Every structure is written in structure tokens, then in C-alpha cells.
């Protein structure tokens, strides 16, 4: 199963008030393992970012002034998420903003249109999942990291890609405990700034493995052990194994 763990940052709270996306971060999982593929993009929202929002994510108007507008990155983003199950913390917020951007884009482009998200992707809201598992408790991403002992000490401000990576760990912990594991070191990252962890295979040459033979004292102790087993049980299953000293 292909899943995309996704997070966004925005200029404000409500797209109906004209607020826009300014950052998208997403990481890909297949069969509950990170593949190394990710999407990360800052976006010029074509409007000012509210000060309250800046205090949360730290992204300023100057930071995104030279970034592409959503219309320029929409196709690459859509290609990355289409057909997958989206794993999102407080999914209605992020999906609402994505659909708002797609609707704006479709008005200008016409056919063929992109979206809406729910018609092309399954959506799993980890906030609702956490509320079902932990009713009456705090279920913010930070609270879940603490509950599941996931290190988020590097998370000072919100950031879409960082939060997506942390959410992948939280989701796996909540749904079975499998840790996020990058399997494909050659997988390409997409967008403007994705990061990943690489693994380095160790090559073992045939005939180079060290084999340590048992000493005579160890063999003698082994024979005495088997003898005690025969005496106690009347037989020893090791007697039928070829190559085992009796």
C-alpha cells in the first residue's frame, strides 16, 4: 500500500478568508516503510503572511517572495500524491487548503482539472485516530511524540517536511510500532529541499568470514552435557543431527 504522510504551512487559518499555502512537505511510505522519496516545496502565496502564523512556523514574506506560485508546482505535487492514502494530522485543515488552491487553479486552467483530493486519494486523519485511541487526552503532534517516546527535540518551529517525517514515526507507532525505515537509498527526492537518511550496504567477500572452532575443553563439556540429557530423558535429539559431536 502506498501512503503519503503530508503536512502544510499556510498564511493563516481559513482559506475562505483568502489564506494560501506557503509550504508543502510529504514523505512516501510503501507497505509501512519509508521509501526515501519525498516532496518539499515552498510557495509564494501572492499575499502577506499573518504575524500569528509566522510565530508558529517562522516562514516570513521575504522567505517565500522568490518561490514559485502554486500554479507552477501543482502538477508535480499532484503527481506525487494522486492515488495514495494521505496520512495527515488534522486532515480537514490541510485538505481544505489544498482543495482551495486546486479550485483557484482550475478556474484559470479549465479542463483538465485537478482534485478534489478526496476523489483521488484516501485520507487518514491521525488526529481523529489519536482521539479514538486516547480519548480525553492531548493529541497534538508534540503530545503524541511524548506519549510514544519519539524524539522531536529538533522541532522548535513547525515545518512541513519535518512535521511530515515526525508524523510518519508517530503514525507507525500508533498503528503497530514499526519504526520508519528507509529502504531505498537511491530513491530521488522531489521539490525544493527534501532530506533523507541513507543506508550503506556492507559487502562481504566469500571466504572472508572468520570461523572459530571449539576447543577440546568446549567439546568435552558439550559431550558431557549430551550424556546427562540421555541419562535423564532416555534419548537426545542431537544424536540424529549430522556433524554434532556426540
Just list the catalytic residues. 158
Strand order in the sheet with 190-191: 122-125, 85-88, 2-10, 21-30, 33-42, 190-191
Rounded distance between C-alpha atoms, residue 243 and residue 136, angstroms = 61
Rounded distance, CA 158 to CA 58, Å?
8
Would you say 88 and 95 are in contact if contact means Cβ atoms under 8 Å apart?
yes
Q: What phi-psi label fits residue 237: left (phi over 0), alpha (psi between -120 and 50 degrees) or beta? A: alpha
> Quick check: 11 and 170 in contact, CB under 8 A?
no
Phi, psi of 135 (to 5 degrees): -60, 140
Q: Find where cell 486523519 sits.
A: 125
Amino acid at each position: 500500500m502506498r501512503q503519503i504522510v503530508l503536512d502544510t504551512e499556510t498564511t493563516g487559518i481559513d482559506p475562505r478568508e483568502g489564506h494560501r499555502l506557503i509550504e508543502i512537505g510529504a514523505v512516501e511510505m510503501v507497505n509501512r516503510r519509508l521509501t526515501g522519496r519525498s516532496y518539499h516545496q515552498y510557495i509564494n502565496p501572492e499575499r502577506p503572511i499573518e504575524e500569528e502564523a509566522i510565530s508558529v512556523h517562522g516562514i516570513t514574506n521575504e522567505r517565500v517572495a522568490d518561490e514559485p506560485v502554486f500554479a507552477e508546482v501543482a502538477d508535480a505535487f499532484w503527481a506525487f500524491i494522486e492515488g495514495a492514502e494521505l496520512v495527515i494530522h488534522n486532515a480537514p485543515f490541510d485538505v481544505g487548503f489544498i482543495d482551495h488552491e486546486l479550485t483557484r487553479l482550475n478556474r484559470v486552467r479549465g479542463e483538465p482539472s485537478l482534485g478534489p483530493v478526496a476523489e483521488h486519494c484516501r485520507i487518514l486523519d491521525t488526529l481523529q485516530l489519536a482521539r479514538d485511541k486516547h480519548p480525553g487526552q492531548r493529541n497534538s503532534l508534540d503530545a503524541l511524540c511524548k506519549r510514544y517516546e519519539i524524539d522531536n527535540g529538533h522541532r522548535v518551529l513547525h515545518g512541513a517536511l519535518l512535521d511530515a517525517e515526525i508524523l510518519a514515526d508517530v503514525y507507525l507507532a500508533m498503528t503497530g510500532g514499526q519504526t520508519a525505515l528507509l529502504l531505498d537509498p537511491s530513491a530521488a527526492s522531489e521539490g525544493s529541499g527534501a532530506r533523507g537518511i541513507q543506508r550503506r550496504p556492507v559487502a562481504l567477500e566469500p571466504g572472508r568470514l572468520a570461523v572459530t572452532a571449539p576447543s577440546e575443553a568446549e567439546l568435552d563439556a558439550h559431550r558431557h552435557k549430551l550424556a546427562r540429557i540421555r541419562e535423564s530423558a532416555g534419548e537426545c535429539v542431537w544424536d540424529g543431527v549430522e556433524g554434532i559431536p556426540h
